[in-house]
Amino acid sequence: MRGSPPFQLALLLLGFFVLGVPLVQLTSGRPVPMTPRPAASAEASRPVLIRVRYVNLPQTLSVKLGGKELLPHTAPGTSPLEARTSFVIPPEGIELHVQATWPAGGPEMPVTVEIEPDGLDVQSHTLWSIDGRIDDTLAFAWKP
């Protein structure tokens, strides 16, 4: 003997309903309230380690950001020369003005400037002297 077709249909519909209600609630398109992340202050100063490497000791060495000297005012010493400072890093990045001099008539000399801001990747650029001088601008930018 077979069961009643209307009873079997009712059990089948009840099973779809029991499984369908949680599935609809999980996949519905209602917005989930999100707590906004606090935006990093554009004016917050960030601690930065500046490292300058060179092969032969330059007579003068200067690394400036917006006219402010970032290296100690002492004569350059052994390589690498390190300085800790802090400054604002805008989203478009920063530009450092590098000046260095060596005795005239010498070979081309490299100077590598590394910038290591807290919480961001280290970046470095190398400049080569021309006629015993470097007077150039380096651009550093970090992706958010």
Q: 57-114, pLDDT tens digit by residue?
A: 888 888 898 888 888 766 666 778 888 888 888 888 889 999 989 888 888 889 999 9
Contacts of residue 96, defined as CB under 8 A and 6 or more positions apart, other chains included, come to: 63, 64, 65, 70, 113, 115, 137, 138, 140
Residue 22 tokens, joined: 């949680």
Mean pLDDT value across the chain: 83
Higher-scoring residue by pLDDT: 42, 26 = 26
Distance CA 12, CA 34 (A): 38
d(C-alpha 80, C-alpha 94), whole Å = 22
For residue 116, give both structure tokens: 């290591």
CATH of 46-140, one of 2.20.25, 2.60.60, 3.40.50, 3.30.70: 2.60.60
